[in-house]
Amino acid sequence: MSKSRIAVVGFGNVGREVVPAIKESPDMEVAGIVLRNPKKIDSIKKTVSDIPVVTDIKELGKIDVAILSIPSRSIPEVAPQYLKMGINTVDSFDIHGDSIMSLRKNLDQIAKANDAVSVISSGWDPGSDSIVRGLLEVVAPKGLTYTNFGPGMSLGHTVAVKAIEGVEDALSMTIPEGTGLHRRLVYVKIKEGYDFEKISEAIKNDPYFIHDETHVYKVDDVKSLIDKGHGVHMERKGVSGTTHNQRMEFIMSICNPAAAGQVMAAAARASLRQKPGCYTTLEIPIIDFLCGEKEQLLHRLI
């Protein structure tokens, strides 16, 4: 089996989990790690001595897919750079709503113009959870679905807090309240000379937090609080045909970055089976995410 060459762009919590997900896939190989900050190269090389670490993807030769394990707010700027090289991209953009649709529209034009494919929002939520939400509506087209996250560490929310001026380190925890409502518990270590109240206000007004009940706490040490476990509990109550009270649940308890990394690796595979353009996970046949021959997969899974 020939292997697709995958570059991992970024090496934070998710990037570190994308690498083993690719290594364990018989149809893919890690071509290298691309860092935007050259100061981190030496330390990362010590961690992954068997993988090239570069600042320019061109140093890695032919690349089939670039998995962008970078902050969501960097995706609109970074993804086009790779698509214009004819390299497929995969990301876990997690700013729900209009932001995803705007990104999809923009990257779709760029991907088609350069004979490439972009798979966006391909973590576990949005991502694999998007597929599950769609499946629940297949069974009960009318009704309500509640997505309850946590309790656990939210990677996207944590990154957003760390980007606020004056924050030295941070942790954002998601606490489910039920029926799709959540509390955000944010723990921050602030830099000397910065006002905690101003930082707290900036966090609460950030788009990641503004729609949820958010509490911000000042701490001296964030690392001692970190647990990367997370989870989701989806509930749907609806109608199949004219039959009411159809109830369905989906429950998942996970290591957050490992789950995101695994879905992104699968999305890299799926990207190579699509026509040029930009896709969300909901638009791609599930079988395209799986490793193996189509007939064998159908025989095993149907």
What residues contact 4, with CB distance under 8 A and at least 6 apart? 27, 28, 29, 64, 65, 268, 269, 272
178 carries a ligand binding annotation? no
- Which residues are CB-neighbours of 257 under 8 A, at least 6 positions away? 13, 14, 16, 17, 155, 228
Residue 184 in marked binding region: yes
The answer on whether 250 is annotated among ligand-binding residues is: no
200 assigned binding-site residue: no
Output the CA angle 161-43-154, nearest 5 degrees: 25
The residue among 216, 223, 212 whose CA lies nearest residue 197 is 216
224 is in an annotated binding site: no
123 labelled as ligand-binding?
A: yes
Residue by residue, DSSP assigns 21-38 as HHHT-TTEEEEEEE-S-G
- On whether 276 is known to bind a ligand per the annotation, the reply is no
Give the sheet arrangement for strand 152-153, strand by strand. Answer: 152-153, 167-178, 181-190, 213-218
For residue 93, say whether it is annotated as part of any ligand binding site. Answer: yes
Q: CA 12 → CA 15, 36, 66, 157, 266, distances in Å?
A: 5, 12, 15, 14, 19
Q: Binding site annotation covers 174?
A: yes
**Tokens, residue 188:** 């921050």
Annotated binding-site residue? 126 = yes
Quote the tokens at residue 118.
């972009």
Which positions make up the binding site for NADP(+)?
92-94, 122-126
**Residue list, annotated binding site for substrate:** 174, 184, 230, 256
Q: Which residues are annotated as a binding site?
A: 92-94, 122-126, 174, 184, 230, 256
